[in-house]
Structures are given as C-alpha cells and as structure tokens.
Structure 1
Amino acid sequence: MRFMVLIKADANSEAGVMPSAQLLAEMGQFNEELVKAGVMQAGEGLHPSSRGARVRFSGTGREVIDGPFTETKELITGFWIWKCASLQEAIAWLKRCPNPMLGESEVEIRQVFEAEDFGAEFTPELRAQEDRLRIQVEEQQRQQDA
C-alpha cells in the first residue's frame, strides 16, 4: 500500500520561514531511516501558498485564484509518499518523525488509490494506458537523473 503523508502548513511556513539546521539534520536522518527500510518513495517541501495558485472548475469554466490562501490550517507545506504494509505501519513511522514545525503541528496520512481499488470501471484499456504512462514517467525521471 502507498500512503501520502501530508505536512500541514503553519503561520511560519506560510511566511517563508525556513527550518533550522538542526531540524533539517533531524529530518535528513529520519528520511535516511525511511529509505533504508524501503518505505520512502518520494518527499518534498512546498513553497508558501503566496507563490502558488488554484484553478476553480465550474462546468467548462476555469477561474485562476492566485495565492496566498487564507486558511493556513488547510494548507500543505510538504509531503512524503511511503510504501507500507498498513495504515498502522505508516502511523508507527510517523510517530518516530521529528516535529516538522517550531510549535504544534499536524501531519495527515492518506492511502493512495491503486488500480485494483477502482474495480470494473477501470477497464483493461484504462489499465494499459496507466501502465504506459507510469513507464513513460519513470523513463523521463531516469533521463533527468542521468
């Protein structure tokens, strides 16, 4: 199972306050543990919402809304993609994580949908397309890393 681990923003992250060298070192060590255990598949921090945008969809209409966004508690400042056997395993890993913020913080764990979760609606043709796209993305990443 794959899980997206979402680190919620706070006033400091939205103001662009960067983590301390100590926190970066602690997070680096935690990420090394995740990688060695085969758990971590990806992980990144995000710039403040003032540097982002949203696109609101209404039928065929599209409206662009520039950041910053006011509801800080609803914003994300970083994420991981983890591969774990269960939600309980992901929770156990997260409990070992250094606090990602200066004060109180909240981190959300959500399971990522896999092809088999979609049932019959995910036809063989759609599965083939998904497989083809995943291979293309992996190949593009390999070329960028070379």
Structure 2
Amino acid sequence: MRVMVLVKATEDSEKGFVATPETQAMMEAMGRYNEELTKAGILRDADGLKPSSEGKRVAFDGAGRTVIDGPFVHPRELVAGFWLWEVKDMDEAVAWVKRCPNPMPGPSEIEIRPLYEMSDFS
C-alpha cells in the first residue's frame, strides 16, 4: 500500500526556514528518522516545501484559468512537506508517524492519505 504522508504547515513554517540551534536539532532528528524509514524499506520519496509566499495556485473555471500568487491564508490547511511510503497497511503507516519527531517547533499535524492503485479501478 502506498501512502502520502503530509506534514501540515504552521505559521512558523510559513515564515520560511531560519537556521537556529533548535531548527538544526530538528533537521538532524528528521534526518535520523528518514534513515530509519530507508533502512525499513518504506521510504520512496520525501521533501520539504518552501513557504506558500513563494508559490502560486491556478484556479480553473471551465476554460478559464486564473493565477493566484501566494502567500495563502490558513497555514494549517497547507502542506509544508511530504513523504511517499510503501507500507503493508494504514496501521503500519500510523505506527511510523507516531515515531516521527515533531516536524515543527510548536504544535503540528501529519496527515496520512492512501494513494489510488490500479486495482481500485477494476
């Protein structure tokens, strides 16, 4: 089972990465966690996203397209980073997320979403 594991943005992450001893320790802990995921054969891909102030959205309405510049409101509805994992089931994904170091300096959330497989369409 493939899952996308989404690190939800926070007001802090929307300010951009600032090198401090706290963020350095956080990055080192996340690096160790990613090594564990790799050794377990679960990790397929992972990365962090820059703040939404550097992003754009394209809104669709019929044939029309409107480009919207960031930053976007409601940081907790945005994604700050992701992993793509191959796990045996959702319980295994939840167990791995519970082992994750907090990806933000304060309160944060991680969302797990299964990907569609070809078998879902047969």
Which band: TM-score by shorter chain? over 0.9
Relative to the length of structure 2, the TM-score reads: 0.94
Residues 12-39 of structure 1: CA distance to partner in whole angstroms, max 9, x if unpaired? 1101134611111100000000000000
Residue 66 of structure 1 and its aligned partner are, at CA, apart by 0.6
Alignment of 1:29-68 (within 5 A): 29-68=32-71
Alpha-carbon RMSD = 0.9
Is 1:97 matched up with 2:95?
Answer: no
Count of residue pairs the alignment pairs up: 119
Unaligned 5+ residue runs, structure 2?
none
Moved over 6 A (4+): none
Residues 82-102 of structure 1: CA distance to partner in whole angstroms, max 9, x if unpaired? 000000000000000000011
Give the equivalent residue in structure 1 for 2:117: 114
Residue 73 of structure 1 and its aligned partner are, at CA, apart by 1.1
For 1:17 and 1:24, locate their aligned partners in 2 and report how far apart those are by CA, in whole Å.
Answer: 11
Radius of gyration: which is bigger? 1
Report percent identity of matched pairs: 53
Relative to the length of structure 1, the TM-score reads: 0.79
Give the aligned residue type for 1:16: G
Give the aligned residue type for 1:100: P
Which structure is higher in helix share?
1
Residue 6 of structure 1 and its aligned partner are, at CA, apart by 0.3
Three-state SS of the structure 2 residue aligned to 1:77 is: strand
1:118–1:100 Cα change, 3 Å: same
Which structure is higher in strand share?
2
Greater RCO (Cα-Cα under 8 Å, separation 6 or more): 2
For 1:23 and 1:70, locate their aligned partners in 2 and report how far apart those are by CA, in whole Å.
Answer: 25
Unaligned 5+ residue runs, structure 1?
120-146
Three-state SS of the structure 2 residue aligned to 1:11 is: coil
